[in-house]
Amino acid sequence: MIQSNELPSSARRIDDLRVRAVHEIPLPIELLREIPITSAAANLVFDTRASISRILTGQDPRLLVVVGPCSVHDITATLEYARWLLDFRRLVADQLLIVMRVYFEKPRTRAGWKGLINDPHLDGSFQINDGLRFARRLLLDINTMGLPTATEFVDPITPQYIGDLIGWAAIGARTSESQVHRELASGLSCPVGFKNGTSGDVWGAVNGVIAAQRPHHFLSVTKSGKAAVISTTGNPDCHVILRGGVRSNYDEASVSAAAAMLAGAKACNRVMVDCSHGNCGGDYRRQLLVADEVARQRHAASQHICGVMVESNLLAGNQTLVPGRTPAPGLSITDPCLGIEETADLLGRLASREVAIVAR
C-alpha cells in the first residue's frame, strides 16, 4: 500500500519534466492575518460595492469611474496619485463614484512584464511572495485613506489574498471567454466587469456576464491552502465593458447594440466604456474625446452607460522598462496614461463642471 506521503516509483520520470523549481508561498489566511483589514477599509469596501450595485440597476444616477495607472510599479508614486485622486473624488462625489484603478497583474499576448505581484522588483527575479505582500499592503493603505480600489484578476488564486480589499474587479479581454474566470467571477463578492475581446467581439463578454450570474462548482484552493470544490451562488453584479477592438465601440450605435444584446439575454443592459485600449485608437490623449462622447450620451438621457475606465498616472505618457535601470516614478511602464492635469480635465467634463486642478 502506498503511504499518503509517497508516490509510486517509475523506471522513467514522467511527471514535472518541464518544472525547474517549486517555491512555496504563504497561505492566503497567513497573509490576511499578517496584514489584516481595518474596520475603516472594510466599511468602505462594503459601501462601495453596494453603491456600484445600485448604479448597475439604475437606483444611483452617478457615473462609476475606474481611473488610475495602467499598472502599479512604484508604490510611493501610486500612493501620491491616490492622495491626489482622493481630494478630487470629494469634489465630484455627487456626480461621479470614483474608484482607483490598482492593477497588479498584466495579461500578456506573448511576453513582457507581468505586473507587481509576479515580478515586484522589476528584475526578472519573480519574488511573488513579496509581490503579494506589496499588493495587499498597498490596497489596505489606499482603502484606509478613504479611496476605494479596483483591479483585474488574472490568476484565479490571487483573490484569496486581496479580494476583501477590492470594491470592483475586471475580467480582461483575453480572459472573458475563459471558463475558469467566469466561474471565479460567479463567486467574487464584488461587482465584476467583463471586457469585450481584443478583436472587438462583444458576445464573449455578454456570455461571460450570463455565465457568471449563475451558480458554479469548480476546483480551487481555500484560504487555508487546501484543494477544494468551490460552490458559488452566482454574481448578480456583473456587466459588460466596451473597450473597442479593430475599431472603437463607444459610439451611440455600438452602445445601444451591446445593451440590446444584454437585454435579449435578460442580463444587466448597462455597460461601461473603456476610454483607453481599442477605443482610443492607440493614442492615450484621445481618452478625453471618448469621455466627451460618454458625457454627451448621458446628457441625451441615454440609460445605457453606467461607467467609464480611464488610464491615468502622475505623468503623461509611458516609458520602456530597461533591465538594471530604475524607472522614473509616476510614469507608466506599460500602456501610456493621461497625466493628472488631463485627468482632472476629463473628470471635470464627466461631472459637467469646471474643477480646479488639485495640487500634487
- Give the residue-averaged pLDDT of 141-151: 98
pLDDT band per the 50, 70, 90 thresholds, residue 14: confident
Q: In the chain, what percentage of residues exceed pLDDT 90?
A: 85
- How many CB atoms lie under 10 A from the CB of residue 358? 16
CA 170 to chain centroid: 4
At 139, list the grid cell: 490596497
Given this model, what pLDDT does residue 200 score? 95
- Give the residue-averaged pLDDT of 198-205: 96
Task: Give 266's contacts (C-beta < 8 A, 6+ positions apart).
Answer: none
- Give the residue-averaged pLDDT of 130-137: 97
Q: Is the pLDDT of residue 19 over 70?
A: yes
- pLDDT by residue (tens digit) across 208-264? 999 999 999 999 999 999 999 999 999 999 999 999 999 999 999 999 999 999 999
pLDDT band per the 50, 70, 90 thresholds, residue 171: very high
Query: Torsion angle, CA of 332/336/341/343, rounded to 10 degrees?
Result: -100
pLDDT band per the 50, 70, 90 thresholds, residue 323: confident
Q: In the chain, what percentage of residues exceed pLDDT 70?
A: 94
- Give the residue-averaged pLDDT of 334-349: 96
- pLDDT by residue (tens digit) across 76-113? 999 999 999 999 999 999 999 999 999 999 877 667 88
Q: What whole-number distance in Å separates Cα of residue 278 and Cα of residue 61?
A: 27
Q: Is the pLDDT of residue 353 over 90?
A: no
pLDDT band per the 50, 70, 90 thresholds, residue 8: low
Position with higher pLDDT, 357 vs 308: 308
- The class (CATH top level) of 29-350 is alpha beta
Q: Is the pLDDT of residue 352 over 90?
A: no
Of 78-87, 169-178, 344-353, the poorest mean pLDDT is in 344-353
pTM exceeds 0.85 for this model: yes
Spell out the long-range contacts of 89-96 with Cβ–Cβ below 8 A and sequence spacing 24 or more. Answer: 89/147, 91/355, 91/358, 92/347, 92/348, 92/350, 92/351, 92/353, 92/355, 94/62, 95/62, 95/63, 95/350, 95/351, 95/352, 95/353, 96/62, 96/63, 96/64, 96/65, 96/347, 96/350, 96/351
Segments in 92-151 forming alpha helices (H): 128-144
